[in-house]
Structure 1
Amino acid sequence: MNTRLTRTLASATFALATLCGLAFVGTGVTHLLDHGAVCVQTGFWTNAPLADPLPIGSGVQASASAARLCRSSPSVGQRAAELGSELPWLLFGTLALLFFSQLLKAVLEQGPFTESVSRRLSALGWFVTAGTLLTGLVAGWSQSWLVGSMAPIVGSGPTLTGPLVLVLGGLAAVIMGKIMREGVRMREDLEGTI
């Protein structure tokens, strides 16, 4: 096992988690202090011919070519919904990187084929699987609500957004964690009989 590479990866992962956490806090603070327009992308009008005016709320500007809606004086709910489509993914990334950093730390301290490492790998997998779905639902709901608040006819309802392929990676980590746990048990049984 290359401990120098693992130590470097653990340090880099922790540094990335710290940067994501700072981006989370910075994005939240700057959006709370910002008094500018709130904009949202929607795919509702992307392929529609627009002979009639768009069915948008008062005070909303729309760009049909980009399917982009903007409100120059948003409500508190609209500003929160804009944050709801950005902040959950930053929080998810921060926590996933922290889980991975802890996994690498356990590998350095105990070796790769231990009970602790297999448990941490499974925990990381479950977090990525459930976290991707929950984060995608929160971000999708926030975006749908924001679009619906600017163009009431659209009302597409909650959707899942984001890289949903991460669910497969999370499930693979859960399975690998269970395989590693069985391998650790088999090795302990073999050592006990010798």
Structure 2
Amino acid sequence: MTEDRKMLEPMATVVSVVLRILLAVAITGVVVSVVHGSWGGFSVCIADELSSSSATPGGFAAESGAQVDSIPRYCAGEPDAHLRILDALSSLPSSLLLISGLYLLHRFFRGATREGVYTAPTASRLRLVGWWLLVGSLVVAFAEANARAALLAALASNVDFSAGTVLSMWHFPYLAVLTGLGVVTFARITRQGVAMREDLEGLV
């Protein structure tokens, strides 16, 4: 499997190192928060991207022909558990998707190194990475949009939690979806190539 290992480098090593670094940072952050009890002490803020004003804020001067817009930002100085959870849900799912995606990618590289690149299990692991990225990015984007909309509705009296607010907060993950579709397609091609190679080996 030496040739297969060479084909997978340096990506396999980079994924392994980055995954370990992210896990170490995440575990350290959780431990520090628990020991110091800082998780409940920070302020919760969100910008109302749905509303803007052309009134020039004090202290900000625009060049001739340019305009400064004001976007309100709401902060809860002493947020309760509900607001802290909404604030966490507005960004934490992306981090979890990144770490879990790197783990699946690391698992794919490790299996490909051990069993070979052109094998059915390797193609299956690659397909799992593609579907995880494709479906996961959509779910995460929608979940975070819901959390941001709920947080804004809780802090701004002129904003209601509604489908329109959620859709306005939702940013479609075009790159992640296209990448996921590409990986799924490549996994299908790889599986087809594996089947053709097995047929040829059977004939020989």
CA distance in 1, matches of 2:29, 2:55: 35
Partner of residue 60, structure 2: none
Amino acid at match of 1:95: S
Q: Is the 8 A contact 1:21 1:91 kept in 2?
A: no
Partner of residue 12, structure 1: 14
Deviation beyond 6 Å, 4+ runs, structure 1: none
Aligned partner of residue 33 in structure 1, secondary structure: coil
**1:14, CA displacement in angstroms?**
2.3
Q: State which drifts further: 97-106 or 7-16.
A: 7-16
Deviations 1:86-124 (A, max 9, x none): 211111000000111111112211221111111011000
Give the one of 181, 186, 200 matched to 1:171: 181
1:142 matches 2:147:
yes
Deviations 1:11-40 (A, max 9, x none): 331232233334444555638634132111
- Provide closer, same or farther for how the CA distance between residues 27 and 148 of structure 1 changes in structure 2, counting only shifts above 3 A: farther
What's the TM-score, normalizing by structure 2? Answer: 0.78
CA distance in 2, matches of 1:78, 1:50: 30
Aligned partner of residue 70 in structure 1, secondary structure: strand
Aligned partner of residue 43 in structure 1, secondary structure: coil
Partner of residue 61, structure 2: none
How many equivalent residue pairs?
181
Aligned partner of residue 154 in structure 1, secondary structure: coil
Aligned partner of residue 93 in structure 2, secondary structure: helix
Aligned partner of residue 94 in structure 2, secondary structure: helix
CA distance in 1, matches of 2:24, 2:89: 17
- Provide closer, same or farther for how the CA distance between residues 41 and 27 of structure 1 changes in structure 2, counting only shifts above 3 A: farther
1:124 matches 2:129:
yes
Counterparts of 1:13-32 in structure 2, within 5 Å, are 13-26=15-28, 30=33
1:42 matches 2:81:
no
Aligned partner of residue 166 in structure 2, secondary structure: coil
What's the TM-score, normalizing by structure 1? Answer: 0.81
Q: State which drifts further: 92-101 or 32-41.
A: 32-41
Partner of residue 59, structure 1: none
Query: Which sections of structure 2, spanning at least 5 residues, go unmatched?
Result: 57-68
RMSD over aligned Cα atoms: 2.5
Partner of residue 166, structure 2: 157
- Provide closer, same or farther for how the CA distance between residues 28 and 38 of structure 1 changes in structure 2, counting only shifts above 3 A: farther
Partner of residue 55, structure 1: none
**1:43, CA displacement in angstroms?**
0.8
- Provide closer, same or farther for how the CA distance between residues 164 and 25 of structure 1 changes in structure 2, counting only shifts above 3 A: farther
Amino acid at match of 1:190: L
Deviations 1:110-159 (A, max 9, x none): 22111111101100000001110111111111111111101132231354
Q: State which drifts further: 153-162 or 35-44.
A: 153-162
1:187 matches 2:188:
no
1:89 matches 2:89:
no
CA distance in 2, matches of 1:84, 1:16: 23
Query: Which sections of structure 1, spanning at least 5 residues, go unmatched?
Result: 52-63
CA distance in 2, matches of 1:157, 1:178: 35
